[in-house]
Chain A
Amino acid sequence: MSQRHPVLTMTAISKIFPGVRALDGVDFRLFPGEVHALMGENGAGKSTLIKVLTGVYGTDAGTITLDGQQVSFAGPMQATAAGVSTVYQEVNLCPNLSVAENIFIGREPRRLGAVNWREMRRRAQELLARIDLHIDVTEPLGSYSLAVQQMVAIARAVDVNARVLILDEPTSSLDADEVAQLLRIMRQLRDDGIAIVFVTHFLDQVYGIADRITVLRNGRLVGEYPTAELPQIALVEKMIGKELDALERLDSEAGRDRAAITAGQPLVAADGLGRTGSVAPFSLTIHAGEVVGLAGLLGSGRTEVARLFFGADRADQGRLAVDGEPTAIRNPVAAIGRGVAFCSENRRTEGLVGELSVRENIILAMQATRGWLRPVPRRKQDELVERYIKALSIRPADPDMPVRNLSGGNQQKVLLARWLITEPRLLILDEPTRGIDIGAKTEIQRLVAQLSDGGMAVLFISAELEEVLRLSHKVVVMRDRQLVAQLDNDDTLDADRVMRAIASGARQEELEKA
């Protein structure tokens, strides 16, 4: 491979943000027909390297050559025109435009100068069918889940005639099936000679597809390695810059005595709770100290269940009881008052206020419950914020940095911190480890286990079955917006059985309930 010429070379790239050296003399080479994984911890500089390449940011030093020509793009549009197509880490399409419009924005099919809408819809449908996505392309993009939006962004990027395709954590909210689809498409494109940059925190995906790996740490290049010559453990050590023992795997944390936990009165009990057009009525109890995992495919209604418990959407059927008392949770204020917290999967639109600082974002929910007349005392703010910056290793550890300047993974941690400081009784986590590096992920999983040991109830949603199985006492399976199974996480439960429940929706699984 190396005897061929690289399609893209970045040499000695540096990028400085006020107070942060995001990239420091980084080299990067990309060859045609390869999948090149760009790896590193949260905040290592992966997204920044990509944005420097596509002209979102200017460089402070270094050169970029594409096909032997030195280039310096003024913006992503120019980069796309030059054959560098990118899916950025945060889906950045227009939620109020239709799916089809989003795919073809800037390059609409035309006839006699006017946009040919029919053609556009047809081609959008075709394109999405290629990745097995069958949705109404005339609906606004914003009405679909984050995962669908991510798929649409990918479809769009794949469709432009690109020589270089860059995917920044494209799989972070996808399920196994969609990931498989995506990897299949990536292989296809690679075989056509397209060079692909792939950023992800999922090591198995890297080892499943990448030909070579470049590792960044703290804005510096650690090295470039053929995948075959870099065992997984060595890769992790290069990423975190120390020996792996600090990261020894969590045992099954759910091994604790379930019978004792579920003996008493449930903390929350949903009885036939539902919302027309969103989730079919379901019944579910969660006890203090219990971790309930929610599994299911994309669009199966996991997030919708969570939103009903939090009052983000209002239930129109059924009853909800907290501590055995019937309660209507009509809005988030009511939910928070009952000790429920909800960490949304969509941190950018439903979680953080990008302009506000890390500190302000962390104390926001706590402040909201106190009301604006009673500000959280500065000393208490400092103490809480400092504690959680440390506990979740948020970097840079600067409480006054606007949160939008943080890397994706670090933003996620800020959102988590916001809810942890409210000391909720029921913590709803929707994809809490999305975009989080392996080190921090283990940290967060350990934290969840600790919190539930301390008596907190947790509703844990994740596309990663392995994670759900490791943490939950009970796994609830959703399919087609219905709750189809509740499985005790005992010794007999494994990923296979959950997968079968997801696939078949076998109601008899419920009978196995102890």
Chain B
Amino acid sequence: MSTVKARLAPVTGHRLFWPLVVLVVLLAANTVYRPSFLSVELKNGQLYGSLIDIVRLSAPLILVALGMSLVIATGGIDLSVGSVAAVSGAIACLYISEQPDQNSLGAVLTALAIAFGIALLLGAWNGILVAGIGIQPIIATLILMVAGRGLAQLITSGQIITINSEPYKTIGVGHLLTLPFAIIIALAVTLLVAVLTRRTALGMIIEAVGGNAEASRLAGIRSRRITLLVYVVSAACAAIAGFMMTANVSSADGNAVGLWVELDAILAVVIGGTSLAGGRFYLSGTIVGALIIQTLTTSVYAMNIDPQTTLLFKAVVVIAVCLIQAPAFRARFRRRQAPTAPPAAPVEKQKEQVPA
């Protein structure tokens, strides 16, 4: 018994273990409800199926959550991602809608470049408020969260801009190499962020700043630049997500695009094991977190759960995930089970803060 436990420890103790268990349980529940859930088929050289749908639909959230992971790792938070997504989606759609030929690839690329550039500026604005002026991240980004929504409505003149552009639509619903284009974009951005942080020293430096800002400063880290950079990256990710969301429906609604996505993104990051206090961040965890949230949303629709209870249902699952992951909760649980089993190291860390 105890040897089995010991042998399993590296698996059950892994950060991703519980999030993955939750994901699998959710998928299993769906399969029980609808046995065809897991089937994936190839039609006209394109993959179709509920699983593919879930991944495709979670692409925007994955993007936003990736940027959010970096921001949170520095000990900050970015509430403005939803608004940035709305602004960039609106700008892109507005530009395309004014073109004589909406299907021109050149026009679409120009639209994307303009919108992306403005998103970077918005990210830099956040970064300057936080790093340059020293406003608390939650307040600094709250400003753009509110103002950005207004800006998006101004751009769309309070209307819904509808476009009819095949190239733009592709971003949301197109296919490439049998896979939905959105999935490929999400994969590419994930790889890019992973390389950017883990192949360079950026990831470690972000974690140092988030783990102990003063110590990092005294080690000669230019933490302001790093902070500025993560807000820009976050806005960039949000912009791409905004393109996807608007491309999905070929229209931009300044009011609705990316609404509440910041909350889902924060949840995804936390479920993935990154602490809101800053420090170590886990991109793989974030992605699993985003998938969990999207699976939840999909399940709610698929299982015909009363839409009025949707949010409640989501909350219950999220609480469960957080509880399972909370070291203190697990320690209590384990202690009751096996009083002599050695609790894992982080358990004690949480119990009371008495370092070294």
Contacts and interface: CB of A to CB of B under 8 A. Distances in A.
Interface in A43-88: 47, 51, 56-58, 60-61, 75-77, 88
B218 interface: yes
Contact of B222 (A333, A348, A376, A404): A333
B31 to A, nearest CB: 36
A369 B199 CA distance: 17
Given A352-B212, A353-B207, A56 B354 contact: yes
Contacts of A408: 356
Given A353-B216, A355-B280, A90 B204 contact: no
Contact of A18 (B216, B280, B344, B351): B344
A342 interface: yes
A406 interface: yes
A406 B356 contact: yes
A354 B226 contact: no
A56 B201 contact: no
A115 interface: no
Given A18-B345, A349-B212, A367 B207 contact: no
Contacts of A352: 212, 215
Contacts of A367: 201, 204-205
Contact of B204 (A56, A75, A360, A418): A360
Nearest to A337: B220
Interface in A90-113: 90, 92
Nearest to B277: A355
A353 B345 contact: no
Given A368-B219, A375-B201, A376-B201, A360 B208 contact: yes
B356 A90 contact: yes
A370 interface: yes
Contacts of B219: 332, 364-365, 368, 418
Contact of B216 (A56, A77, A364): A364
Nearest to A331: B217
B353 interface: yes
A252 interface: no
Contacts of B340: 60-61
B306 interface: no
Interface string A358-374: 00100011011110111
A364 B208 contact: yes
A344 B218 contact: yes
A355 B215 CA distance: 12
Contacts of A370: 201
B208 A349 contact: no
Contact of B353 (A92, A336, A351, A373): A92
A60 B6 CA distance: 14
Nearest to B222: A333
A58 B221 contact: no
A312 B204 CA distance: 22
B355 A92 contact: yes
Contact of A404 (B202, B204, B215, B355): B355
Contacts of A344: 218
A408 B17 CA distance: 32
Interface string B85-127: 0000000000000000000000000000000000000000000
Given A355-B207, A360-B204, A372-B226, A89 B356 contact: yes
Given A51-B354, A364-B208, A60 B342 contact: yes
Contact of A76 (B201, B211, B352): B352
B206 to A, nearest CB: 9
Interface string B158-193: 000000000000000000000000000000000000
B200 interface: yes
Q: Report which residue of B217, B280, B342 has the largest number of chain A beta carbons within 10 angstroms of its beta carbon.
A: B342
Nearest to B13: A18
Contact of A333 (B202, B220, B356): B220
B218 A372 contact: no
A9 interface: no
A397 to B, nearest CB: 18
Q: How large is the interface on A (under 10, 10 to 19, 20 to 34, 35 or more residues)?
A: 35 or more
Interface in B335-354: 335, 340, 342-345, 348-349, 351-354
B279 interface: yes
B346 to A, nearest CB: 10
B41 interface: no
Given A372-B202, A375-B201, A407 B356 contact: yes
Contacts of A89: 356
A405 interface: yes
Contacts of B345: 17-18, 405
Given A368-B219, A372-B200, A58 B343 contact: yes
Nearest to A360: B204
Contacts of B353: 92
Given A369-B220, A372-B200, A57 B355 contact: no
Nearest to A368: B220
Q: Report which residue of A355, A356, A367 has the largest number of chain B beta carbons within 10 angstroms of its beta carbon.
A: A355
A375 B211 contact: no
A16 B356 contact: no
Contacts of A248: none
A351 B356 CA distance: 14
A300 interface: no
Nearest to B213: A353
Contact of B208 (A17, A331, A353): A353
Nearest to A406: B356
B205 A372 contact: yes
A408 B352 CA distance: 18
Interface in B195-239: 199-202, 204-205, 207-208, 211-212, 214-222, 226
B214 A349 contact: yes
A356 B345 CA distance: 15
Contacts of B212: 349, 352-354
A411 interface: yes
A333 B212 CA distance: 17
A56 B218 contact: no
A350 interface: yes
A173 B353 CA distance: 21
A354 B354 CA distance: 13
Nearest to A411: B356
A92 B211 contact: no
Q: Report which residue of A356, A373, A376 has the largest number of chain B beta carbons within 10 angstroms of its beta carbon.
A: A356
A166 to B, nearest CB: 12
B355 A90 contact: yes
Contacts of A356: 204, 207-208, 211
A365 B220 contact: yes
A315 B105 CA distance: 58
A333 B220 CA distance: 5
Given A76-B352, A353-B207, A368-B216, 12 more contacts: A61-B340, A90-B355, A312-B218, A332-B217, A350-B214, A353-B211, A355-B211, A356-B208, A368-B221, A372-B201, A374-B200, A406-B356
12 contacts: A56-B352, A60-B342, A312-B218, A349-B214, A351-B215, A351-B218, A364-B216, A367-B201, A372-B205, A375-B201, A404-B356, A418-B219
Interface of A: 16-18, 47, 51, 56-58, 60-61, 75-77, 88-90, 92, 310, 312, 331-333, 335-336, 342, 344, 348-356, 360, 364-365, 367-370, 372-376, 404-408, 411, 418
Interface of B: 199-202, 204-205, 207-208, 211-212, 214-222, 226, 279-280, 335, 340, 342-345, 348-349, 351-356
Give me the 4 closest cross-chain CB pairs, A-B, nearest first.
A368-B220, A375-B201, A353-B211, A336-B220
